[in-house]
Amino acid sequence: MQEKIKEIAARVRELRELSEISVEKMAEYLQVSPETYEKYESGTEDIPASILFEIAHRLQVDMATLLTGEEPRMNIFTVTRNGKGVSVERRRQYKYQNLAEKFIHKKAEFFIVTVEPKLQETKPETNSHPGQEFNYVLEGSLKVYIHHNEIILNEGDSIYFDSNYEHAMEALGEEPASFLAVIM
């Protein structure tokens, strides 16, 4: 896992440098401190998926390029077989599986996200990113935190929200929860 984080960080750094964007300008774009951004690029701090999405947008590359180092080539359709999407564990509590990494010029990113049960009685770390997000619960139950609200979602429930607001999800109960996430 740590090796994969370092590979992604190296790709981000290389593409940023090739684009002639300074660390300070990229940090400003992402609304993080230059020190935090440098930790992302050095691989000493894991890059949240929402930040990776924004980095890809700023560098004008597909998110899959950052994750895998390969350019998407499909432009008519792409099929991702069950369990075969590119998996990325961005944070200990979330595991992302990219469902359309091979399609070029996507208008949105599609993931199956698995949230592990809570290990401790603390509110999960929130994040935000420009755009909108749609989540559809496939399995289990989730508590969604968004802009001072707590919403319980069960299997078959969905939520669509402005992802500029701080948000987080946690699995309820003792089993993991999974949901389809569409980030636009």
- Looking at every residue in the chain, the average pLDDT score rounds to 87
Report whether 123 contacts 157 (CB < 8 A).
no
Least reliable range by pLDDT among 25-29, 87-91, 161-165: 87-91
| Domain housing 28 | 2-68
* Domain assignment present for 77: no
The per-residue pLDDT for 36 is 92
More confident of the two residues 172 and 76: 172
Point out the domain boundary residue: 19, 35, 68: 68
Calculate what percentage of the chain has a pLDDT beyond 70.
Answer: 94
pLDDT average, residue stretch 56-70: 84
DSSP 47: P
63 or 73, which is more confident? 63
CA distance 183 to 152: 20
Instruction: Compute the CA torsion angle 57, 171, 88, 56 (nearest 10 deg).
Output: 0
Tell me how many domains the chain contains.
Answer: 2
The answer to the question of residue 91 being in a domain is yes
Residue 153 within a domain: yes
Q: Are 77 and 140 in contact (CB under 8 A)?
A: no
Total-model pTM:
0.73
Does residue 74 lie in a domain region? no
Domain edge (last residue) among 40, 68, 96: 68
Over the stretch 72-112, which tens digit does the pLDDT of each residue have? Answer: 776 677 787 777 776 665 556 778 888 888 888 888 889 99
Whichever domain contains 144, its CATH number is 2.60.120.10
Co-location of 129 and 58 in the same domain: no
**Section 56-77 average pLDDT:** 80
For the cut 60, the answer to whether the pLDDT of residue 1 exceeds it is no
Return left, alpha or beta for 43; rule: phi > 0 is left, psi -120 to 50 is alpha, else beta: left
CA dist 131 → 4, 40, 164 (Å): 27, 22, 6
CA of 110: how far to CAs of 44, 51, 63, 105, 119, in Å?
A: 26, 15, 11, 13, 27
Rounded-to-integer distance, Cα 97 and Cα 51, Å = 16
Beta carbons of 88 and 67 less than 8 angstroms apart? yes
Does one domain contain both 95 and 168? yes
In a domain, 100, yes or no: yes
Place 57 in a pLDDT band, splitting at 50, 70 and 90: confident
Residue 81 lies in a domain: no
Query: Do the bridges between strand 141-146 and strand 149-154 make them parallel or antiparallel, or are there none, so unpaired?
Result: antiparallel
Distance CA 152, CA 159 (A): 10
- Asked if 101 and 44 sit in the same domain, the reply is no
